[in-house]
A = this chain, B = another copy of it.
Amino acid sequence: MDISSIVGLIFAFGLIIGSMMMGSAPMSAFISIPSALVVIGGAMAACMTCFPLSNILGTPKVMLKVLLNKPADVKGVIEQLVSLAETARRDGLLALESRMDEVTNAFVKLGIQMAVDGTRPEIIEDIMRTEVDSVATRHQTGKGIMDQLGRFAPAFGMIGTLMGLIMMLSNMSDPSSIGAGMAVALITTLYGAIIANAIFMPFAEKLAYINKQELSSMEIIIRGVMAIQSGENPRVIEQKLTTFLPPKQRPNRDEAA
């Protein structure tokens, strides 16, 4: 499991909360439930207006995906594809039927099953590529929601601060309360900046990264399945697929700078 995102999140909030506690003001000066409601509620409301309900409801799953992201074992997938290619070459495509249980990757399974079923190669590729598009679209929507939350959170933070300033300014009978009023007004801007910069914007970036990795490994699988289906030499398949790996992970070849 890639714990970088969890560590980053804990680190960011630890820093912020630590700074608040070490400051000259009591911690309570930084806590305001109504401010949190305006910023988080406002950003969520704006996002609900942007996307259909089904996508909004998938947001927690998307955020968990960022936190628990387990990078695909591309090397293992390539080894399995090469092993399947050997079986297919030796005993024919139908012999793969008996090995379907070993295959854990759903996308490899989909492709090999179609090859075993005798589906025409162009239909196999068409269906697998539509699958890739469908995964990319789901990722884009997930990233889109994070992007919009990261954009609307500071905006509603500013809206909250403007409301606080108007309240304070329209009632300045007691000058000594001006400072406290402004402090309260600034809290929504602070909340908006924190959740956008510590959560939503980094999550959107991470989703873009995960998407790129996943599409790249799906591309490798498509090439592998097509090669198996056409009965190519397992050695050539291995050589072709390993060129997708970064130099350090390849079996034995010179690295280029």
Q: Which residues of A contact B (CB under 8 A)?
A: 2-5, 7-9, 11-12, 15-16, 19-20, 22-25, 29-30, 34, 37-38, 41-42, 44-53, 56, 66, 69, 71, 105-107, 109-110, 113, 123, 126-127, 130-131, 134-135, 138, 144, 148, 152, 155-156, 158-160, 162-172, 176, 179-180, 182-183, 186-187, 189-190, 193-194, 196-199, 201-203, 205-206, 209, 214, 218, 239-240, 243-244, 246-247, 253-257
Which 7 pairs, one residue from A and one from B, show the smallest C-beta to C-beta distance?
Answer: A8-B48, A8-B49, A49-B202, A12-B45, A169-B183, A172-B179, A50-B205
State whether A23 and B167 are in contact (beta carbons under 8 Å apart), knowing that A51-B205, A131-B243, A186-B162 are contacts in the complex.
yes
Alpha-carbon separation in the docked complex, A47 to B162 (Å):
26
State whether A183 and B198 are in contact (beta carbons under 8 Å apart), knowing that A19-B38, A52-B4, A106-B257 are contacts in the complex.
no
Alpha-carbon separation in the docked complex, A45 to B15 (Å):
9
> Shortest distance in angstroms between A105's beta carbon and chain B's nearest beta carbon?
8
- Check if B131 sits within 8 Å of A256, measured CB to CB: yes
Alpha-carbon separation in the docked complex, A255 to B196 (Å):
33
- Check if A46 sits within 8 Å of B201, measured CB to CB: yes
Residue of B nearest to A221 (CB): B256
Q: In the complex this chain forms, how many copies of it are found? A: 5
- Check if A110 sits within 8 Å of B179, measured CB to CB: no
- Check if A24 sits within 8 Å of B243, measured CB to CB: no
State whether A49 and B131 are in contact (beta carbons under 8 Å apart), knowing that A30-B166, A155-B197, A170-B25 are contacts in the complex.
no
- Check if B2 sits within 8 Å of A52, measured CB to CB: yes
A–B pairs, 16, beta carbons within 8 Å: A4-B49, A5-B48, A7-B53, A12-B45, A19-B163, A23-B167, A25-B167, A30-B163, A42-B198, A126-B243, A134-B246, A159-B197, A162-B189, A165-B186, A172-B180, A218-B256
On chain B, the residues within 8 Å of A4 by CB distance are 48-49, 51-53, 56
On chain B, the residues within 8 Å of A183 by CB distance are 165-166, 169-170
> Shortest distance in angstroms between A59's beta carbon and chain B's nearest beta carbon?
12
State whether A206 and B156 are in contact (beta carbons under 8 Å apart), knowing that A34-B19, A34-B22, A198-B45 are contacts in the complex.
no
